[in-house]
Structure 1
Amino acid sequence: MWEYQHSAETTATPEALWRHWSAVDQWPEWNDGVATIEIDGPFAAGSVFTMTPPGEEPLRMRLTEVVPGKLFTDELDAGDFVVRTVHSLEPVDGGRTRVVYRTEISGPAADQVGPQIGPAITADFPDVVAALVRRAES
């Protein structure tokens, strides 16, 4: 298994952060890693979305877990490996919120594929989380 995690703390409320996460059609406005995105259904477990990173081929992913105001998990099943990202909101002392993005690559090919694609998948996490935080704080 390959894994990576990035987190940041903010004064933004979980509700404010969740509004931006659950408005999938607005992700390209604050996430530079998303050129276009379409979701086939509500922001709920089981819904499939197609996300196209700038200059790349579209990726078809599934929401596997959605707990409003707390977390959502998306998954890309590539057959011999699975890329799973958990996006979570954790309360922190002083009324702050910790935003966490955690990616795991698992499956038979994970040990080979993880070190190859994992860093590319997660390279923008610090920028994406910072942009989300700025948007939710404003």
Structure 2
Amino acid sequence: MSFEYEHTVTTTASPEDVWALWSDVGSWHCWDPAVERVALEGHFAEGAAGTLCLAGGVEAPFMLEIVEPHARYLDRLTIGDLVIRIDHQVTATDGGAQVLVRTTVEGDGAADIGPMVTGDTPKALEALIGLAEQQS
């Protein structure tokens, strides 16, 4: 089973301002209500792994599968038999940037878990761009 979700927002912040928040895993809890804390082993680069503590105390190992500085990163979380991939993309626009987040959940129960995983995505993206716009 699988579940897919996508959400896009625009901002007056630059891709670099958005990237600064994305690549600072210590700040994820400031803009993503689903995240309590993140521990990353090493630098924000492909293959780096760590632990994500979600709201409610659920801990999940994650890995950065793709990192394209100032443009894109894809992380993979594993929770039991579920694999959750979240693809984050930022592209420059006239006067700012477009931010896209695409989430794919695979495994038994994906159709049930997917909406819970993505429920806070619009709120998280609004908080992200709010912080990015303050930095710009």
One fold, TM greater than 0.5? yes
Q: How many residues align?
A: 133
1:80-100, Cα deviation, whole Å (9 max, x unpaired): 5421110000233x2321111
Matches within 5 A, 1:1-138: 1-77=2-78, 80-92=81-93, 94-106=94-106, 109=107, 112-138=108-134
The runs of at least 4 aligned residues of structure 1 exceeding 4 Å deviation read 78-81
* Structure 1 unaligned residues grouped into runs of 5+: none
For 2:83 and 2:39, how far apart are their aligned partners in 1? 21
Identity, in percent, stands at 34
Higher strand share: 2
Q: Residue 125 of structure 2 aligns to a residue in which SS?
A: helix
* Structure 1 vs Structure 2 CA RMSD: 1.5
* Structure 2 unaligned residues grouped into runs of 5+: none
Question: TM-score with structure 1 length normalisation?
Answer: 0.89
User: What one-letter code is carried by the residue in structure 2 that aligns with 1:42?
Assistant: H
User: What one-letter code is carried by the residue in structure 1 that aligns with 2:28?
Assistant: W
For 1:24 and 1:116, how far apart are their aligned partners in 2? 27
User: What one-letter code is carried by the residue in structure 1 that aligns with 2:98?
Assistant: R
Question: TM-score with structure 2 length normalisation?
Answer: 0.90
